[in-house]
């Protein structure tokens, strides 16, 4: 019986390794056919500590998944069962090679090991039951788009749950018989194995040998079949997730957009050749190896989809489906991608059709529909929630770059914005001299930089296009200027020398215009000797802090809420007049998820006497977008429910007197939605949306009882 068991076991292992090895080789070749991305490797070398922290928190600690408490705990137990039950397979290997009574000296006779093995297996079973209940409750057949599994390959998920169940029951069967035949050295510590083993007490020695051999082969066989299934399915993430976490971008938050690269080097627009260089992603071969890794790592869990503001308001964009459609297209085209020129010439038209050789990456009949591409607000909810750190936004932006710069295909209204940026340096096309008009409404002087930053001036106040030119945002600008003046903080502005940071152009995909505006601003800032900047717009803040270093602009940049919170804490600003209002705060995406600034705006409100704060059910890292990001501020929203309307509906559930925020784009978008609600009678006439700085200045100046101004329509 020993020899038969050994031969069957070794033959199964050999066949499995051959099949799995072939698949892994294919996947590696496909990934390595992608564009180079040397920065991913360099960052690991520069920051090995960061990688260790990522593996401990993201992979072993399951930080993101545990935010989804029940499902997270279930996955935590199943994942750790995968690790810990590997010791059972080590023991099974010893038994296969050396006989049923063989065991690892010392270790395999230590009771706590057996206890841990049985316990994690029981917890794994509990996790499987939980997953089953979740999938039945959230079945796409029952709840449609509301299910995060909508579009996922649910059949494969059920197969994997079944295979994990097979791993657990065959383990207990094998160990139970081993206990009954006195071959399990852990004794009563393996309590579940003992419980199962009691079912087999009193059998003959020969029967035990047969049953134990069958149990051993079943347990090993399930693992071998499991391995082949895993490398051919979405559950490849079991092995790829640690790699994807290792090579992810590592800002504290989503940070800035990576610079455009071609063949692993920054793209020089002055010398670039559209026929030779890679301008974004126009075909699947243009993606980097990290892009392919993202595609192969996707678990199809749908957490990104469930948080996406576009998907939640009836639009066709699902971040999950973008990755899956790219992955499926890559696998379909892989034989062509990996073929030699001679092999490609030999392919028939039918074969090329099956391999999707001529299928557009973006198009009406392409892999990605244009409506999908242009629905993205760059809010970052998908990246924030992804448990395996897939970078959906980077891929969407890279496809936008190709569409805008090579195909000249993008929503027509965005073209007006681009033209205004090029000609006037702001999205509205207003005169640069209008950037100073807000100063005339103040009762103190504001330093305007002529050439050099005055020596006694601490901060450059980056006003931004909205802050200088949009009426509602100008109120924030004036409030911040007054607060800095009261606190004795010396600041200056650029006035007409300031141009748009280029964020709308970059997020649209027009990298050339971003580079033009960015280099102009960096030259101005560097010549003026600017070191520290305070910005009221999170988009400007993010661009100045995280993207300008790519083009030679390195500054200490703070958001106005960070600076104001510090000034309040240090006693330089003291709110005194109570504001007896119920206020709900809306987290701007580019301040929150992109830069992890959640605390300071709330700290400011907490210091204002009388204010009662009430969080919306989606807040902080799960906050819901206002709909303006990703250059959507300048594009019409024609599909589904308006995102800003959805957000205001959430705000109204808190019964607020005021909605506060810390972004001029959010101020405009939420204000427009509130006006619509007022017109329809669904919101009180006194409801307004204000920046947190406006609340602070009202309390400091004693204007808390002043009548509220209605939110003006643009």
81-90, pLDDT tens digit by residue? 999 999 999 9
The CA R_g of the chain, rounded to the nearest whole Å, is 30
- List the one residue out of 291, 197, 245, 265 whose CA is nearest residue 38: 265
Residue 250: which pLDDT band, with cuts at 50, 70 and 90? confident
pLDDT of residue 107: 76
Q: What mean pLDDT do residues 53-66 have?
A: 90
pLDDT of residue 331: 97
Can you list the pairs that 183-187 forms with residues at least 24 positions away whose Cβ atoms lie under 8 Å? 183/100, 183/101, 183/103, 183/212, 184/114, 185/103, 185/108, 185/109, 186/108, 186/109, 186/110, 186/111, 186/113, 186/114, 186/115, 187/111, 187/114
pLDDT of residue 713: 38
Q: Given 1.10.287, 1.10.3470, 3.40.50, 3.30.460, which CATH number is that of 422-567?
A: 3.40.50
pLDDT of residue 703: 67
The SS3 call for residue 583 is strand
DSSP assignment, residue 544? I
Mean pLDDT of all residues belonging to the chain:
93
Q: Is 158's pLDDT higher than 70?
A: yes
Instruction: Please name the fold of domain 261-409.
Output: Fumarate Reductase Iron-sulfur Protein; Chain B, domain 2 (1.10.1060)
Sequential DSSP letters for 457-513: --EEEE--HHHHH-HHHHHHHHHHHHHHHHHT--EEE-GGG----SHHHHHHT-HHH
Rounded Cα–Cα distance for residues 320 and 307 (Å)? 11
Rounded Cα–Cα distance for residues 496 and 435 (Å)? 6
Q: What mean pLDDT do residues 360-385 have?
A: 96
Q: How many CB atoms lie within 10 A of CB 55?
A: 15
Q: Is 253's pLDDT higher than 90?
A: no
Q: Let me know if the fold of 422-567 is the same as that of 569-701.
A: yes
Ranges of H-type helices in 570-663: 599-607, 643-652
pTM to 2 decimal places: 0.93
The SS3 call for residue 273 is coil
Backbone angles phi, psi at 386, to 5 degrees: -65, 120
Rounded Cα–Cα distance for residues 398 and 56 (Å)? 30
| Paired tokens of 322 | 């973008």
Name the burial class of residue 681, with classes exposed (0-12), middle (13-18) and buried (19+) by CB atoms within 10 angstroms of its CB: exposed
pLDDT in tens, 114-146: 999 999 999 999 999 999 999 999 999 999 999
| Paired tokens of 433 | 């001299």
Sequential DSSP letters for 13-66: HHHHHHHHHHHHHHHHHHHHTSBP-HHHHHHHHH-HHHHHHHIIIIIIS-TTGG
Residue 320: which pLDDT band, with cuts at 50, 70 and 90? very high
CB 410 within 8 A of CB 509: yes
Rounded Cα–Cα distance for residues 108 and 157 (Å)? 34
CB 258 within 8 A of CB 249: yes
Q: Is 265's pLDDT higher than 90?
A: no
CB 431 within 8 A of CB 423: no
Q: Is 710's pLDDT higher than 50?
A: no
Secondary element (H or E) of residue 154: helix 154-180
pLDDT of residue 702: 84
Spatial strand order of the sheet with 532-535 comes to: 447-448, 491-493, 459-462, 532-535, 556-559
Can you list the pairs that 97-105 forms with residues at least 24 positions away whose Cβ atoms lie under 8 Å? 97/6, 99/2, 100/2, 100/178, 100/181, 100/183, 100/209, 100/212, 100/213, 100/216, 101/183, 103/183, 103/185
Q: What mean pLDDT do residues 304-330 have?
A: 97
Domain range annotation of the chain: 64-246, 261-409, 422-567, 569-701
What separation in angstroms does the CA of 680 have from each of 472, 583, 674? 22, 22, 10
CATH architecture of the region 569-701: 3-Layer(aba) Sandwich (3.40)
Residue 261: which pLDDT band, with cuts at 50, 70 and 90? confident
| Paired tokens of 125 | 């079973």
Q: Is 608's pLDDT higher than 70?
A: yes
For residues 480-516, one letter each, b for 16 or more C-beta atoms within 10 angstroms of the residue's C-beta and e for the rest, the string is bbbbbbbbebebbbbbebbbbbbbbbbbbbbbbbbbb
Q: What mean pLDDT do residues 229-244 have?
A: 93
DSSP assignment, residue 362? B
Rounded Cα–Cα distance for residues 648 and 680 (Å)? 14
Question: Between these two residues, 101 and 710, which has the higher pLDDT value?
Answer: 101
In sequence order, the 6+-apart residues with CB closer than 8 A to the CB of 578 are: 608, 609, 610, 699, 704
- List the one residue out of 548, 573, 547 whose CA is nearest residue 560: 573
- List the one residue out of 545, 666, 654 whose CA is nearest residue 596: 545
CB 403 within 8 A of CB 283: no
Q: What mean pLDDT do residues 3-23 have?
A: 93
Name the burial class of residue 372, with classes exposed (0-12), middle (13-18) and buried (19+) by CB atoms within 10 angstroms of its CB: buried
**Least confidently predicted of 317-331, 444-458, 520-534:** 444-458
Share of the chain above pLDDT 70, in %: 98
Q: What mean pLDDT do residues 608-615 have?
A: 96
First-to-last alpha carbon distance for the chain, in angstroms, is 84
- List the one residue out of 154, 146, 153 whose CA is nearest residue 305: 146
């Amino acid at each position: 019986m020993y020899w038969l068991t050994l031969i069957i076991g070794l033959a199964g292992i050999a066949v499995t390794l051959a099949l799995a090895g072939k698949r892994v080789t294919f996947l590696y070749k496909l990934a390595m056919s992608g564009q180079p991305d040397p920065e991913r490797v360099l960052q690991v070398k520069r920051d090995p500590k960061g990688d260790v922290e990522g593996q401990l928190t993201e992979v072993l600690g399951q930080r993101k998944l545990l935010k989804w408490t029940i499902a997270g705990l279930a996955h935590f137990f199943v994942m750790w069962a995968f690790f810990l039950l590997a010791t059972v397979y080590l023991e099974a290997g010893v038994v296969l090679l050396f006989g049923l009574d063989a065991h690892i000296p010392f270790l395999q006779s230590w009771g706590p090991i057996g206890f841990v093995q049985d316990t994690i297996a029981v917890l794994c079973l509990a996790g499987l039951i939980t997953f089953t209940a979740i999938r039945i409750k959230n079945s796409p057949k029952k709840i449609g788009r509301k299910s995060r599994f909508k579009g996922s390959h649910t059949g494969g998920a059920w197969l994997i749950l079944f295979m994990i169940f097979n791993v657990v029951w065959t383990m207990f069967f094998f160990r139970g018989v081993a206990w009954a035949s006195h071959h399990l050295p852990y004794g009563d510590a393996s309590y579940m194995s003992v419980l199962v083993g009691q079912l087999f007490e009193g059998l003959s020695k020969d029967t035990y040998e047969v049953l134990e051999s069958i149990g051993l082969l079943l347990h090993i066989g399930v693992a071998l079949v499991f391995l082949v299934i895993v490398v051919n399915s979405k559950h490849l993430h079991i092995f790829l997730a640690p790699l994807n976490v290792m090579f992810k971008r590592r800002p504290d938050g989503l940070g800035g957009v990576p610079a455009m690269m071609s063949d692993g080097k920054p793209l020089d627009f002055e010398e670039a050749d559209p026929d030779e260089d890679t301008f974004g992603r126009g075909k699947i071969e243009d993606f980097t190896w990290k892009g392919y890794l993202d595609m192969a790592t996707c678990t199809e869990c749908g957490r990104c989809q469930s948080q996406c503001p576009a998907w939640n308001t009836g639009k066709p964009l699902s971040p999950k489906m973008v990755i899956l459609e790219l992955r499926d297209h890559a696998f379909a085209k892989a034989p062509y991608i990996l073929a030699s020129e001679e092999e490609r010439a030999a392919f028939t038209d039918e074969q090329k059709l099956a391999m999707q050789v001529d299928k557009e990456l973006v198009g009406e009949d392409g892999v990605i529909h244009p409506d999908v591409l242009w629905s993205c607000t760059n809010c970052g909810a998908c990246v924030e929630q992804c448990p395996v750190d897939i970078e959906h936004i980077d891929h969407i932006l890279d496809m936008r770059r190709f569409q805008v710069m090579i195909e000249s295909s993008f929503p027509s209204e965005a073209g007006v914005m681009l033209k205004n940026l090029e000609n006037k340096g702001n999205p509205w096309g207003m005169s640069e001299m209008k950037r100073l008009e807000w100063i005339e409404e103040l009762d103190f002087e504001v330093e305007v930089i002529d050439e050099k930053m005055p020596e006694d001036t601490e901060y450059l106040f980056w006003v931004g296009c909205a802050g200088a030119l949009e009426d509602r945002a100008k109120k924030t600008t004036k409030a911040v200027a007054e607060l800095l003046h009261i606190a004795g903080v010396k600041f200056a502005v650029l006035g007409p020398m300031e141009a748009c940071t280029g964020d709308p152009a970059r997020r649209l995909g027009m990298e050339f215009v971003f580079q033009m505006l960015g280099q102009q601003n960096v030259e101005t800032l560097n010549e003026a000797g600017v070191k520290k900047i305070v910005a009221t717009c999170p988009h400007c803040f993010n661009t100045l802090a995280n993207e300008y270093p790519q083009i030679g602009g390195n500054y200490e940049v703070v958001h106005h809420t960070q600076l104001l919170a510090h000034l309040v804490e240090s006693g330089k600003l003291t709110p005194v007049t109570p504001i007896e209002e119920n206020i709900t705060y809306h987290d701007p995406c580019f301040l929150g998820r992109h830069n992890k600034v959640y605390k300071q705006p709330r700290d400011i409100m907490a210091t204002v006497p009388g204010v009662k704060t009430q969080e919306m059910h989606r807040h902080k890292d799960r906050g819901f977008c206002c709909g303006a990001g990703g250059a959507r501020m300048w594009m019409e929203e024609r599909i589904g429910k308006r995102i800003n309307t959805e957000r205001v509906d959430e705000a109204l559930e808190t019964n607020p007197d005021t909605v506060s925020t810390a972004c001029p784009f959010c101020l405009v978008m939420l204000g427009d939605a509130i006006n619509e609600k007022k017109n329809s009678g669904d919101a009180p006439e006194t409801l307004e949306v204000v920046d947190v700085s406006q609340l602070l200045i009202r309390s400091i100046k004693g204007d808390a009882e002043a009548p509220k101004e209605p939110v003006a329509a643009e």
